[in-house]
Amino acid sequence: MVFVHFLLIESDLQICQDRAPTCCTKKMEESYQAAVRRERMQSIQALNFELKYMIVGHTTAFQEAFESFLRLAENRTRSLFEAAYRPMAKEAAEPVKELFTDISLYILGAETTVENAVLRFFDSLFPLVYSRLINPGITDLSEDYTECLRLTRQDINPFGHYSKNMVTELSKSLWASRMLSQALSLGTEVINTTEHAALTKECSRALVRMQYCPHCQGLTLIRPCVGYCLNVMRGCLASVSELDMQWREYISTLEYLTNEMGASHDLEIALTGIWNSINEAILHAQLNGPQLSATVDKVCGQPKRQEGNLSSGHIVPLKKATEAQTLVLAHASLNNKRSSLPLKASKNDKSRSLKKISREFINYMKRSRTFYASIAERLCDGDLVMRDSSTCWNGEDVVESYTSRVVSSGLKAQINNPELKVRGLDPLISNLIDKLQNFNQLDAEKAKLKLERWSSRDTGSGGGRSEELETSGDCDDEDGCQGSGDRIHTADILKDKRTHPENRNEPKPTMKKIVTTTTTSTVKSSSKHSVTGNGSSAALSSSLVILTALAVLWPCPP
């Protein structure tokens, strides 16, 4: 079969202008420009496919691992309350749920902090511990009294240093997870933006001249010279290649974050250890119950007694409450054994550890360190150019070799590009570079600050009770912590509540001077808050039981 090419002189061609006869028209040139835009995007997508697949796939894997750890940690914490603190288990379910929801949102990048989440949990927990464990005879607390207990926790610190330690340990581990989540999202954004970056007019014309102008002369089998292709591609991708430096730094950031997650700041250990921190905090509050009761009475007054008929479902029998309290106090001796709660892992939990996922991911990402520096070379590889032929296309004619200068990659080098003019950095790419730079700098600066703060804290001497009452200064808002200046003290809020009472018939919490001591005091809260009536003798016996347990477990002052 014989193909006949009809050649003519087309004077209005804008790209494939040549003295020789041509079979192209202006409309064909426009079709060629649309074709090179489409082909260029497909070529970039093909190069990005494996990298994008790895980032998106591991983003999903990391999120599934996070959710698995959170689910396991929440289940263990719920089991703690059901097994050891049954009188308050039902009421504690909602604060526990809110705690782990806040942690999940923090990891995913929400505008919240670890300290806010943890302290809000302990604010909600203290009224339950006070009314169900320390003084189990209290029933039906009023909203004002409960709010007073919540606010008092911030000042008297009933959970000792355990709440502060929980903030510090979680901040270390969750910070790396949060930053990694943001890093993966940023990596996906970089890939998507480079795939859909628009071609400049000069680039599309250069690509048409390189790939389709030979067709206008009937040269359908000829391919561009290697040097010619490199000049065209490096000019078209000059802005994209400017990502190289920040992309290399981004890979180093990923490596640092994955190492952090797999080292001393192990996320799985931190999350699954939450239940133990909460348990120790509650035990601390119980052991200091007499002082707490005395201080709360001075700050909030005595709880209001509900009059009238109360359903038996709302009353906690003193005998059962005292037995539960004794059980919890005895549980302290078991705490040293670090025995885990009887909880089976969920069937949906992933068998692959986060460390293994991180190792596989970072090993691949390290190989893509030069991805944007070598993107032009990769596009000119394969079938696009002539490598084993004695002739090739140089943009004007068929030649034996390309004799023009071949420029290097990068925006500055394109000033000497003989094939096309590059006018400046693409605004979209410029925005990506700024985002990568800001992320990399933020990560480096914060890592340095964290190392200094945590090293100082770990090597510093231990403090007494006065240090336990202070707010942690080991981390800032970005770490998931906030400063003590953000706290609202009990005196300020209760003063306003006391000034505008809504119901004068209902006793309001009264604000008095807080005096916190560490000396031994008599336990009068149990008898004061016991159920009245025929149960007075039982209340006295219960007080003696609690005094005996406290005497055994509470170390005497020297």
Domain chopping of the chain, boundaries: 26-428
CA dist 10 and 46 (Å) reads 36
Mean pLDDT of the region 322-344? 42
Question: For residue 481, what pLDDT band results from cuts at 50, 70 and 90?
Answer: very low
Computed on alpha carbons and rounded to an integer, the radius of gyration of the chain in Å comes to 35
Instruction: Note whether 395 and 15 are within 8 A (CB).
Output: no
Question: Which of 58-72, 441-455, 469-483 has the highest mean predicted lDDT (pLDDT)?
Answer: 58-72
Identify the pLDDT of residue 3.
40
Percent of the chain with pLDDT over 70: 66
Q: Which of 276, 305, 294, 274 is nearest to 134 (CA)?
A: 294
User: Which ranges constitute the DSSP H helices of 381-471?
Assistant: 427-459, 465-468
pLDDT of residue 455: 52
The per-residue pLDDT for range 484-538, each reduced to its tens digit, is 334 444 444 444 544 444 443 444 444 333 443 333 333 333 333 433 344 433 3
Whole-angstrom distance, CA of residue 347 vs CA of residue 537: 51
Per-residue model confidence (pLDDT) at position 11: 55
pLDDT band at 166 (very low <50, low <70, confident <90, very high): very high
Phi, psi of 301 (to 5 degrees): 80, -175
- On the question of pLDDT at 178 being above 80, the answer is yes
Closest by CA position to 447, among listed 259, 313, 184, 191: 259
3-state helix, strand, coil in the chain (%, to 5): 65, 0, 35
Terminal-residue alpha carbon distance, the chain = 109
Q: Which of 223-227, 251-255, 285-289, 480-484 has the lowest mean pLDDT?
A: 480-484
**Which of 509, 68, 63, 550 shows the shortest CA–CA distance to 298?**
509
The values of phi and psi at residue 541, to 5°, are -65, -40
Using CA atoms, how far residue 447 sits from 263, 336, 369, 450, 504, in Å, is 14, 33, 21, 5, 54
- Whole-number Å distance between alpha carbons of 211 and 204: 11
**Average pLDDT of the segment spanning 287-298:** 90
User: What pLDDT, on a 0 to 100 scale, did the predictor assign at position 443?
Assistant: 63
- Least confident range from 236-240, 391-395, 469-473, 552-556: namely 469-473
Q: Among 465-469, 476-480, 548-552, whose mean pLDDT is lowest?
A: 465-469
The whole-number pLDDT of residue 411 equals: 92
Q: Which is nearest to 232 in space by CA: 206, 255, 257, 258? A: 206
pLDDT reading at 301 higher than 90:
no
Q: Which amino acid does the sequence have at 17?
A: Q
What is the pTM (predicted TM-score) of this model? 0.68
Q: Which residue has the higher pLDDT, 302 or 387?
A: 302
Residues in CB range of 357: below 8 A, 6 or more apart: 58, 61, 62, 65
Confidence band, pLDDT 50/70/90 cuts, at residue 20: low
Res 352: pLDDT: 54
- What's the CA dihedral at 128, 131, 132, 136 to 10 degrees? 180
Question: Where does the pLDDT of residue 4 fall: very low under 50, low under 70, confident under 90, or very high at 90 and above?
Answer: very low
Q: What is the pLDDT of residue 259?
A: 80
Mean pLDDT over 44-68 rounds to: 89
The helix/strand/coil state of 79 is helix
Cβ-count burial of 447 within 10 angstroms (0-12 exposed, 13-18 middle, 19+ buried)?
middle
Asked which of 51-60, 115-124, 256-265, 327-336 is least confident by mean pLDDT, the reply is: 327-336
pLDDT of residue 427: 92
333-358 average pLDDT score: 49
Residue 202 has pLDDT above 50, yes or no: yes
Position 146 confidence tier, pLDDT thresholds 50, 70, 90: confident
Res 353 pLDDT > 70: no
| CA pair distance 306, 536, nearest whole angstrom | 18
**In this predicted structure, which of 94-108, 207-221, 492-506 has the lowest mean pLDDT?**
492-506
Instruction: Determine the residue type at 41.
Output: M
**Mean pLDDT highest for which of 59-63, 464-468, 500-504?**
59-63
* pLDDT at residue 65, as a whole number: 85
CB–CB of 230/380 below 8 Å? yes
In this prediction, residue 355 has a pLDDT band, given cuts at 50, 70 and 90, of confident
CB hemisphere CA count around 220 (13 angstroms)? 5
